[in-house]
Every structure is written in structure tokens, then in C-alpha cells.
Structure 1
Amino acid sequence: MGPGVVVTGLTLGALAVVSLLAFQANGAQDRAGGARPTPSATSSGPAASAAPSASATPTVPALPTTSGSGTRVVYSVGSHYVWLVDPKKNPQVVAAYPVTPGSVEPTPGSYPVYSRTPSTTGTDGRQIEHVVRFAQQNGVVFGFSAALDGATPTTDPKAKTGGIRSSRQDGQLLWDFAPNGTRVIVVA
């Protein structure tokens, strides 16, 4: 057996091993991507729950392109989603989660967080925590919060409420992310 045959055999063997490893790595990436929980499922907090199965994980809408730049909280009145964006991080969207609005929505624009309250009673009479207020329009105060019992805002057509509710763990994320002065960008 000549040296050319040995080199050819070693080359073919190496190519087979590399191909097998590439195939396995591709499968591992697909498995990791499919089982990745949403940012809210990975958050830790007083009421953190088990991560949902891959089939139950909702699709997170993309960060709206009209959301500006810099560190900000983005709220979409159209999709009822919140994104916490920090351009110094990779990925820049550090969390994204669904919320339930009150009976009135804020006007699209840029607002600073102007007030925070650790816990209080919401306009619907529920005990809430992590209240982060960012706008007042026509006598309605708009802010993010989480109900201690997990309740969403009551949709009483006579009551004008601007509370935007999230889960407790997502409320904790926003509370930690958005001190007074943080920009809240409201998009359509």
C-alpha cells in the first residue's frame, strides 16, 4: 500500500468525522432553538413559573422599527407587547412579553418614567406591585404594574383605566430595568 492510498484514506476518514460532527451540531442547534423559553419564562422573581413547552411558547413579535434608539421600554398598543431594550447588551432586547392594557391606551410618543410605587391598590381595587408610571392624558394615568393575584384589568366601559398589567415576574423585570427618567416609547 503506497503513501497516496494512506493519505487518501485518512482524508476520507477525517471528512466523514467532520461531516458527522457538523450534522450533530446542526441538530443540537435546532433542539436548543426550539426549546428556548421566552424571556419572561426565564426570569426569576417571586412568582417565577416553570418554562412552557416548546409547542406552548408564543411567538414574540419583532421589536418595532419605529421604537427609537438607546435604553428604553417599548410598548406597542397594537400587539400589547413590551420590550426592554438596552443597546449595550447582546442581544439588545433583554426581555419581551405580552401585557394586558386597561380600558384606555396612551397616545404613541416618547415619555419618561416619572413615578414608581412598590405596591398599592389599582384603580380596579386589586393589590398591585411594581407600578411604573410614564404618562398622564385626559385625566388617565398610564403605567405598568402586576396584580398580586395575577388578575388583568377589568374592562368596565364606564371606567377609564390606564394600567398596563403583566405577570409578576415580568413586572419585576420592568421594575429593575426602568428607574425614574427611563424613556418609554409607545408605538401604534
Structure 2
Amino acid sequence: MHVRRLPSWAWVAALTVAALAAVVVLGIQADRSVPPGEAPFASRPAATPSPKARPSTPPRKPPRAEVPANSGEGARIVYSLGQKRVWLVEAGDTSRRSFTVWPGTVNPEKGSHLVSFRRQAATGSDGVKIENIVYFSTKSGVSIAFSNAVDGSSPEPASGVQTGGIRVRADDGDAIWKFAAVGAVVFVVD
């Protein structure tokens, strides 16, 4: 009996197809993965859209908001808890952009943090579709990140729900996304 062997090109083609399939599966799993410090979907409370969601109106900007003193050095994002304001600061300590934000119910600790994860789009814990998500901290098991609502809303945080989303307007979300790669510094001040 004569056993027929497959040509080497057939083996290479089959292995290439299998490797591509594995990469696609891993890519899909990574896209569905949970950011560090965030609970898996099954253990999260069901999110319902906030009835208080309203179209965002740009918060009033002070004439010229200066970068707070003692807010780190070099290129960084500075986030002031008290002013509800963010500055995108260049390496030479020049503010590139500054804008107000709508914080969630969980604030990050003061001090220096690093951007640990980025996600282009998702659904917030309030049921609102968000984009330009830049994670930089966790506190009490809640991931804290900058993001903007796709529909432009700035909802009040849902009563009794811990949220770490710091919402910004769409153009500010684009600016943070372009400015803050993984490893970028976020400095939180009073």
C-alpha cells in the first residue's frame, strides 16, 4: 500500500490559516476583556440609562486657568478635583489645553498616576455609550478614566452607583486620546 504524503506547501498553508484564526480569536477576546481593576460583566449591577441625562452645555471657562502649582513636572495631564478641571501640559510646563469636566462619584487619590489602559469605545456604567476612554487609576475596585459620551450628554451619576468615569466634551475627549498614550502621567491635585 502506497501512502500519499501532502506537499510541504499544503502544510505551510494549513499552519498559516490556523495561526491567523488563533490571532483573530485572541483579538476578539482582547476587545472584550475587562480593564484592570474592573469587575467582570457578570458581576456588575445592571446598568440603566440615567433619567437625568441631559445634553451637555459647555461649562463656563475662566479667562485663563493656570496649571496648579505642585502638580508634577514634564508632559502630563493635571486633574484638579476641586476645580473639576483638566490641563494637558507639554514637557516645557506649557499648558496646551484646559477644560472643565464632570466627575463620577469615585475620585482618584491625589498624586501621580500612569495611564494603564485605553479603550476606543464602550458603554458606561450608566448605560451611555462612551468613547476615548483613558484609564489611569482604581479605587475601591472602581476603574477611574476620562471619557466622553458619544451623544454629547453629561449625565448626573446614578444614585447609589459608584462610577469612576470623568466625562468631558467630545473635542476634549479627542484631545486627551491623542495626548495620553499608555504610560502617560496623570497628576491629581485638590
Q: 1:162 aligns to what? A: 164
Deviation at 1:63, TM superposition (A): 0.8
Name the CA distance, whole Å, in 1 between partners of 2:136 and 2:99. Answer: 18
Equivalent in 142, 145, 161 of residue 144 of structure 2: 142
Contact 1:102-1:155 within 8 A present in 2 as well: yes
Q: CA RMSD in A?
A: 1.5
Name the CA distance, whole Å, in 1 between partners of 2:154 and 2:147. Answer: 10
Equivalent in 72, 81, 87 of residue 83 of structure 1: 87
Structure with the larger helix share: 1
The aligned amino acid for 2:73 is: S
**Which runs of 5 or more residues in structure 2 are unaligned?**
1-59
Deviation at 1:118, TM superposition (A): 0.5
* CA pair 58-107 structure 1, distance change in 2 beyond 3 A: same
Name the CA distance, whole Å, in 2 between partners of 1:85 and 1:119. Answer: 25
2:77 counterpart of 1:73: yes
Deviation at 1:155, TM superposition (A): 2.3
Q: 1:12 aligns to what? A: none
Name the CA distance, whole Å, in 2 between partners of 1:138 and 1:154. Answer: 21
Q: 1:182 aligns to what? A: 184
**Which runs of 5 or more residues in structure 1 are unaligned?**
1-55
Equivalent in 92, 100, 103 of residue 101 of structure 1: 103
2:63 counterpart of 1:59: yes
Name the CA distance, whole Å, in 2 between partners of 1:172 and 1:137. Answer: 25
After superposition, what is the alpha-carbon deviation per residue over 1:24-75, rounded to whole angstroms, capped at 9, x for unaligned? xxxxxxxxxxxxxxxxxxxxxxxxxxxxxxxx76434321101010110000
Runs of 4+ in 1 over 3 A off after TM superposition: none
Q: Describe the SS at the equivalent of 1:66.
A: coil
Deviation at 1:179, TM superposition (A): 0.2
Contact 2:126-2:158 within 8 A present in 1 as well: no
Name the CA distance, whole Å, in 1 between partners of 2:157 and 2:175. Answer: 25
TM-score by length of 2: 0.66
Q: 2:35 aligns to what? A: none
TM-score by length of 1: 0.66
The aligned amino acid for 2:91 is: P
Deviation at 1:171, TM superposition (A): 0.4
Larger radius of gyration: 1
Q: Describe the SS at the equivalent of 2:177.
A: helix
Q: How many percent of aligned residue pairs carry the same amino acid?
A: 40
Deviation at 1:117, TM superposition (A): 0.4
The aligned amino acid for 2:80 is: S
Deviation at 1:103, TM superposition (A): 1.3
